[in-house]
Amino acid sequence: MKNERINWPLVVVVDIGSPGKNIGWSARGLTNQKGSSVDALIELLARTLPIASVALGFEAPMFLPARDEYPRLTTARSGEGSHAFSSGPSATVLVTGLVVIRYLLSNLRKRIPQASATFDWTKQPIGPGNLLLFEAFVTGQPKEREEPHIADADLAAASFASLLERKGHLETAIEETECLNLLGAILLHTGWSTDIDILHQPCLVIKPEPSEVVSVGSRVSS
């Protein structure tokens, strides 16, 4: 899918993990900040959304394939390669993401009930209060890094901006014809939406290019 050239004032990615242990986030744009506190991120988003559009991504599987072929139920989504959503690490972060993301979006909704959220990356943001939600898919990062979860989040946020610079539009790295959107279920549960059709809509997936992974790895290890 393509859209007109756009620029998002703030791009934020959260690398999902257990609170206080292996979680990190990075914000790029209007402010460049990084951290590991979800509450601090909620505060940042609550301050920014009333004045600007925000793209918010989560590094965890956000939609699952809805297939009728029994042998293929747990096989990788198109674009995942060998890192299937159902594999051990991915399945763990998927479950963790359900509770962490619900906490984040629930508390953000309480702070800014007038804001709106969407998965539709083909439309330009129409101004303050608009939240674009997406999935980040980061693999191949060096293991020996300081603050690896923040580094993963930062790479994905940078990749979002790089994609716009290179192509002038956003496009997804993972696609499925039919899906169950877990992020949509969270939006329904937390009051961001009442449209049950969002359960069937895939979201944007940002996957850094191999060259971007190598570049970040080189900077970290140098």
Unique residue bearing structure tokens 């906490």:
103
Kindly give, in sequence order, each residue whose CB lies less than 8 Å from that of residue 158, ignoring residues fewer than 6 positions away: 28, 208, 212, 216
In the chain, what are the domain boundaries? 10-221
Residue with token string 């999902």: 16
The predicted pLDDT at position 3 comes to 42
Beta strands at 179-181 and 63-65: parallel, antiparallel or unpaired: antiparallel
CB 35 within 8 A of CB 24: yes
Encoding tokens for residue 87? 């594999």
Is the Cβ–Cβ distance between 78 and 175 less than 8 Å?
Answer: yes
Angle between helix 88-111 and helix 38-48 axes, rounded to 10 deg: 50
What is the Cα–Cα distance from 182 to 172, expressed in whole angstroms?
A: 17
- pLDDT of the chain along its 222 residues, tens only? 344 445 789 999 999 988 877 899 999 999 999 999 999 999 999 999 999 999 999 999 999 999 999 999 999 999 998 889 998 889 999 999 999 999 999 999 999 999 999 999 988 777 899 999 999 998 766 655 668 899 999 999 999 999 988 888 899 999 998 999 999 999 999 999 999 999 999 999 999 887 766 554 444 333
The whole-number pLDDT of residue 219 equals 42
For residues 138, 211, 1, 29, the Cα torsion angle rounded to the nearest 10 degrees is 70
Tell me which residue of 113, 99, 82 sits closest to 38, measured CA to CA: 99
Q: Tell me how far apart the alpha carbons of residues 106 and 41 are, in angstroms, rounded to a whole number.
A: 13
Tell me how far apart the alpha carbons of residues 53 and 117 are, in angstroms, rounded to a whole number: 10
CB 16 within 8 Å of CB 102: no
Alpha helices in 7-147 (DSSP H): 38-48, 88-111
pLDDT at 81: 87
> How many Å apart are CA 104 and CA 100, to the nearest integer?
6
Q: How long a stretch of residues is the chain?
A: 222
